[in-house]
């Protein structure tokens, strides 16, 4: 075990030291190991140091060398990462009967959880960024592309993401960064995910919206904005859109939560613009739902003059939506931000919560 850890550490160092001119030498050095290392994970059991060393080697390649890789090299590394993730899904305790997604947190050593979960999140994020930035990568029908590998990896680590783990700032930052990048980069793939896989991810975004950390809240709401913006291009005459086929209530849930946050809750003003952008996109997809929600707000106001002011401000805001261009246009979003600030300043001070 110690000899293997030492060897993996040397390979990791070689990968970190490589630059554009010598990276292919170090990549060739580790390529054979990459193909065989994932098969060791199920046999490692509780050898946390060996498991961590294997994951750290993959992470070093993803962080320091993946941007230099050719299409064929990236395909090889992508396949190796897929094998690593599959092996992680099979890794259990001494009996090997449990999967990592089924082990309770109390049965895991806290440092093992922190080290490997964080490294896996970072690995997936590096893969996702490489796939989006490199237009030379060619996909084959017989090979799972990078986007699918990332989605598969997220499905493995997501069950480990709980409110308790998100109390660790590094984990929260990496997870929401990955989740935001995933939704913004692959909105179509996300939109057609099976409900049992998508619902947990959307629940995480909802959790992120409610965090005091402005970075986490911003990443979460920007991901929701990207998802809703993608739906605008798929809108049909009957007001259906791609995501609505399998998840008819999802955008409505986001719309209600964001609207309630802006109208009634305390929130970090640093994320106001991001919240306005998301609301704008959601209103384009679910304008009837927005009108219904605002009708509920209107009916809950007990003072006649205040009720009239809410009605006036809402009508003005809906008029802006109708007159401006689609929410995919930057100019339309900038205009909406201005009117949304006016709307909030005129009604938020006296609103009675529904």
Looking at residues 250-254, what average pLDDT do you find? 96
Interval 185-226: pLDDT, tens:
889 999 999 998 899 899 999 999 888 678 889 999 999 999
Looking at residues 39-43, what average pLDDT do you find? 81
Residue 49 pLDDT class (50, 70, 90 cuts): confident
CB 152 within 8 A of CB 82: yes
**Euclidean distance between CA atoms 351 and 354, whole angstroms:** 9
**Euclidean distance between CA atoms 283 and 278, whole angstroms:** 9
pTM, entire model: 0.82
Residue 137 pLDDT class (50, 70, 90 cuts): very low
CA dihedral 170, 176, 182, 184 (to 10 degrees): -130
Sign of the dihedral through C-alpha 75, 81, 86, 87: positive
Question: What HEC string does 140-180 produce?
Answer: CCCCCCHHHHHHHHHHHHHHHCCCCHHHCHHHHHHHHHHHH
pLDDT score for 87:
84
Interval 98-125: pLDDT, tens:
444 444 444 543 445 456 888 999 999 9
245 exposure class (CB count in 10 Å sphere: 0-12, 13-18, 19+)? exposed
More confident position, 18 or 253: 253
Buried b (16+ CB within 10 A) or exposed e, 8-43: beebbebbeebeeeebbebbeebeeebeebbeebee
Interval 147-179: pLDDT, tens:
889 999 998 888 778 877 887 888 888 899 899
Q: Which two tokens stand for residue 179?
A: 């989740």
pLDDT score for 168:
81
Looking at residues 226-236, what average pLDDT do you find? 93
Q: Highest mean pLDDT range out of 40-44, 141-145, 182-186?
A: 182-186
**Euclidean distance between CA atoms 86 and 83, whole angstroms:** 5
pLDDT score for 97:
35
More confident position, 226 or 269: 226
Residue 96 pLDDT class (50, 70, 90 cuts): very low
Does the pLDDT of residue 134 top 50, yes or no?
no
* Mean pLDDT, the chain, whole residue set: 83
Interval 312-330: pLDDT, tens:
999 988 888 777 666 678 8
More confident position, 285 or 131: 285
DSSP-assigned letter for residue 326: -
pLDDT score for 108:
47
């Amino acid at each position: 075990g110690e000899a293997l850890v030492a060897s993996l550490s040397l390979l990791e160092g070689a990968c970190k030291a490589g630059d554009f001119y010598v990276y292919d030498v170090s990549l060739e050095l580790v390529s054979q190991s990459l193909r065989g290392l994932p098969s060791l994970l199920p046999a490692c059991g509780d050898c946390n140091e060996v498991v961590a060393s294997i994951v750290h080697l993959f992470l070093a390649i993803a962080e320091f060398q993946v941007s230099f890789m050719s299409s064929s090299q990236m395909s090889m590394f992508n396949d190796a990462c897929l094998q690593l993730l599959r092996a992680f899904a099979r890794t259990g305790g001494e009996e090997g009967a449990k999967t990592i997604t089924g082990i309770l947190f109390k049965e895991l050593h806290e440092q093992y959880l922190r080290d490997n979960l964080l490294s896996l999140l970072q690995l997936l994020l590096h893969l996702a960024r490489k796939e989006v930035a490199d237009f030379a990568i060619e996909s084959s029908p017989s090979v799972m592309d990078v986007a699918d590998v990332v989605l598969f990896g997220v499905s493995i680590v997501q069950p480990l993401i709980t409110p308790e783990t998100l109390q660790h700032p590094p984990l929260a930052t990496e997870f929401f960064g990955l989740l935001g990048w995933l939704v913004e980069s692959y909105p179509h793939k996300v939109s057609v995910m099976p409900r049992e896989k998508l619902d947990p991810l959307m629940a995480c975004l909802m959790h992120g919206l409610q965090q005091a950390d402005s970075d986490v809240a911003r990443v979460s709401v920007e991901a929701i904005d990207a998802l809703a913006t993608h739906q605008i291009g798929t809108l049909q005459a009957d007001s259906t859109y791609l995501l609505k086929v399998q998840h008819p209530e999802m955008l409505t849930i986001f719309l209600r939560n964001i609207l309630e946050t802006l109208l009634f809750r305390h929130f970090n003003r640093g994320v106001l613009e991001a919240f306005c952008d998301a609301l704008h996109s959601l209103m384009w997809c679910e304008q009837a739902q927005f009108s219904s929600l605002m009708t509920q707000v209107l009916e809950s106001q007990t003072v006649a003059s205040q009720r009239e002011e809410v009605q006036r401000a809402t009508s003005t805001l809906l008029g802006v939506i109708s007159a401006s261009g689609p929410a995919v246009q930057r100019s339309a979003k900038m205009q909406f931000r201005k009117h949304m600030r006016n709307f909030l300043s005129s009604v938020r001070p006296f609103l009675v919560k529904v």
